[in-house]
Chains A and B, each alone.
Chain A
Amino acid sequence: QQQVKQSPQSLIVQKGGISIINCAYENTAFDYFPWYQQFPGKGPALLIAIRPDVSEKKEGRFTISFNKSAKQFSLHIMDSQPGDSATYFCAANDRGSTLGRLYFGRGTQLTVWP
C-alpha cells in the first residue's frame, strides 16, 4: 500500500509557467514532509521541506502548500526553467517508526520546454 500518493506521474510545462505536483497521505503519524529532486543518474536531493504546523513555505521559486485537515500537500515551481526538468518525489516522515522513516511517493517526471 502506497503511504504517500503522488500525482501527476508526468508533467510538461512551458518555460516561465507554474509546475504543480500534488501529494496525499492518510497516516496521522507523519510529522515532516520533504520534497526531493532527482536528475537522471543521480541520487535524490533534498529540495524543500515543511512541518504540518505551517501552511506554506517558500524558498526561491519553490513553494510547499500544506493542508493538514485534507492531508494533502503540494509543490509549486514558479517561473519553471528547463533546468528544473527532473523527477520530483514527495515524502513523509513517520515519527511512529523507530527514530522515523521516510515514505516516498512514486515521483513526477517534470519536463520544462524552452
Chain B
Amino acid sequence: EAGVVQSPRYKIIEKKQPVAFWCNPISGHNTLYWYRQNLGQGPELLIRYENEEAVDDSQLPKDRFSAERLKGVDSTLKIQPAELGDSAVYLCASSLQGRPYEQYFGPGTRLTVT
C-alpha cells in the first residue's frame, strides 16, 4: 500500500514569492492534516480536513496561508507571499476518520525562503 505522497520534496524561493505544496493521502483516509515542523521541533498542526471540510484551521496564518481539498482526496497548501520565517518542513499526514492518534506522515517538503 502506498504511503502519503508529497511534492515537491525541496523548494527554494525568494521572500515575497508564492509557493505551493501538494499532498496525496493514503487511499481510504478521510482525514488529512498539514503540519509545519521547524528545525529541532515537533510538528505543529496548521489545518485538518475531514473529507472536503476544514474542521480545524485555528493555527493556520490566514493572511498568507491557504489550503484546499476540493474532492476530498488530494490537498494543496499555499503560501503567498512567503517570508523568511516560513522556512521549515511542511508535513502532510492522513488517518482514518475518528482515529487522529494514528496518523501516517509523508516525507515532507523542505522549504527554504531566501
Residues of A participating in the B interface, judged by any CB pair closer than 8 Å: 6, 32, 34, 36, 41-46, 49, 89, 91, 93, 97-102, 104-107
Contacts and interface: CB of A to CB of B under 8 A. Distances in A.
B43 A104 contact: yes
Given A99-B50, A106-B42, A46 B102 contact: yes
B98 interface: yes
B100 A100 contact: yes
Contact of A98 (B42, B55, B93): B55
Chain A contact residues: over half helix, strand or loop, or mixed? Answer: strand
Interface in B100-114: 100-108
B70 to A, nearest CB: 21
A101 B45 contact: yes
Contacts of B104: 45-46
27 contacts: A6-B42, A34-B101, A34-B102, A36-B105, A42-B108, A43-B4, A43-B91, A43-B107, A44-B105, A45-B105, A46-B102, A46-B103, A91-B42, A91-B101, A93-B100, A97-B56, A98-B56, A99-B50, A99-B55, A101-B56, A101-B100, A104-B42, A104-B43, A106-B40, A106-B41, A107-B40, A107-B41
Q: Which of B41, B42, B50 has the most CB of A within 10 A?
A: B42
